[in-house]
Structure 1
Amino acid sequence: VQFFYSENIDNDFIILEGEEMNHCTKSLRKKVGDLICVIDGSGGCYTCEIINIDFKICKLLIINKKIINKKNKVHLFISPTKNHKRIEWMLEKIVEIGVDRITFLICENSIRKTVNLKRLNKIALSAMKQTQNYFLPIIDDCLSFKDAFDIIESQAKYIAHLCYDNIPLLSKSIKNNNTKCIFIGPEGDFTNNEVSYALKQNFIEVSLGKSRLRTETSGIVSTIILNLDNE
């Protein structure tokens, strides 16, 4: 099943435009009367009939709709990797797994301090459609470590680090909360001061295992663990 994306939904009708319209009507040669599936990125999936095609828009009639509700929400705070392609690879995987929001952290040891938001949003949209995931994550631009605390809405808050030993595993520390967030640091990890600051904000320090994982791998592993309640 080919999925299309639109936020332009009004009662019984949906409008496709831009790249989504071109892909539907030109690449796939869909025509009036054909049925297609549209997702809104917020858990809604719509079976639609194409009722009109013009130069700029494709108008659809909603035949059936299904709304998916997630048990919990996951917010990943992660320092961007030096190689932007590793960020893109990670993003594809965590969208497939399921993540609701991604915020890029600029820490004391961060090397990269910018990301290409336009490209990342495009990759996230493509990954959502290809894997038939109904949820499109919000992707925030880079924030300083301390500024990131101002946008936290999660009930359960974790910080994964390697500053010292004998830290409990994330998988053993999960609380039954509806909203969860985790901080993942850069290649050089968080500093002791950053970890101390997070703990003062009622964060729980956790480990992702014995191996020293790359930043992007840590993002994937933590997203999998925090999504276990959604299964």
Structure 2
Amino acid sequence: MQLFFHEHTNEDHFDLDAEESKHLIKVLRKTQGDRVHFTNGKGSLLHCVITEANPKKAKLRIEEREFTPEDDYYIHLAISPTKNSDRMEWMVEKLTEIGVHEITFMESEFSERSHLKLDRLEKKIISACKQSLKTRIPKLNPVRPMTELVQDKNFDTYQRFIAYVDKENDRHLFDKTKVDNAYLVLIGPEGDFSKQELQLAFDNHFLPCSLGKSRLRSETAAVAAIHTLQLKNNLKEL
């Protein structure tokens, strides 16, 4: 199955813009009467038929709607962006495929970058959703100060973790989490968190956690954390 994305699907009919129309009609050679699948990124899988195969403005009719309920758990990752923007694009793509619900970029003391092209990252996320057949698009947030994030009372009901490099920090994230919870995991920059930042996190009830014995790049640590939380929650069904 191929999956396409269109945000506005409240009506039974919708039109595609010129770029999407060209891709559907010219590149994929879809014609009038062909059936295709769309999602609005909010849990809906739409079974559609092409009513007008116009490469500049294709028209579609929704014949059936399926709805995917939300997960019983919620994974929010906060990470300091790296200097290399390509690595952040790779990261959001892989996190989407594995199954993250929300991503916040975080400015910490040793952060290497404070500005990101969120529109480009959002396109990577949408592309990853289509590739991995996901009907829910993760929420992407702009850069936010780490000191502000850890003191946000909206996360009081979350299981909160901070991953950092320390020989004494050897208890794995998998062992510390409980299933069917909301989680917030902090991943620092290549230079890690400062001592003051770690203490601030601890003072606000963040638990230290390990992601294994290897020293990981920031984006690799993010992938490891999200995979760990997905594994923990999916194992309950086995």
Give me the TM-score of the superposition, normalised by structure 2. 0.88
What displacement does 1:18 show?
A: 4.5
* Matched residue, 2:143: 142
Q: Which moved more, 1:143-152 or 1:71-80?
A: 143-152
Query: What are the superposed Cα offsets for residues 21-50 of structure 1, whole Å, 9 maximum, x if unpaired?
Result: 331123223222110000111221111111
User: Of 149, 153, 156, which aligns to 2:159?
Assistant: 156
Aligned length: 231
* Matched residue, 2:108: 107
Which blocks of at least 5 consecutive residues in structure 2 are unaligned? none
- Taking the aligned partners of 1:92 and 1:151, their CA distance within structure 2 comes to 29
* Matched residue, 1:118: 119
Cα 1:178–1:58 shift into 2, 3 Å: farther
What displacement does 1:109 show?
A: 0.8
* Matched residue, 1:203: 206
- Taking the aligned partners of 1:164 and 1:201, their CA distance within structure 2 comes to 22
Query: What are the superposed Cα offsets for residues 57-115 of structure 1, whole Å, 9 maximum, x if unpaired?
Result: 43322222221222222111011112111111111111110111111111001112211
Query: What are the superposed Cα offsets for residues 164-204 of structure 1, whole Å, 9 maximum, x if unpaired?
Result: 51442101001234321100000011111111111222212
What displacement does 1:139 show?
A: 1.4
Give 3-state SS (helix, strand or coil) of 2:59's partner: strand
Conserved? CA contact 1:124–1:136, under 8 Å = yes
Give me the TM-score of the superposition, normalised by structure 1. 0.91
Cα 1:115–1:26 shift into 2, 3 Å: same
- Taking the aligned partners of 1:130 and 1:85, their CA distance within structure 2 comes to 19
Which blocks of at least 5 consecutive residues in structure 1 are unaligned? none
What displacement does 1:12 show?
A: 2.7
Q: Which moved more, 1:6-15 or 1:187-196?
A: 6-15
User: Of 171, 174, 179, which aligns to 1:168?
Assistant: 171
Over the aligned positions, Cα root-mean-square deviation in angstroms equals: 2.0
- Taking the aligned partners of 1:8 and 1:213, their CA distance within structure 2 comes to 40
Conserved? CA contact 2:169–2:209, under 8 Å = no
- Taking the aligned partners of 1:166 and 1:60, their CA distance within structure 2 comes to 54
- Taking the aligned partners of 1:189 and 1:5, their CA distance within structure 2 comes to 37
* Matched residue, 1:61: 61
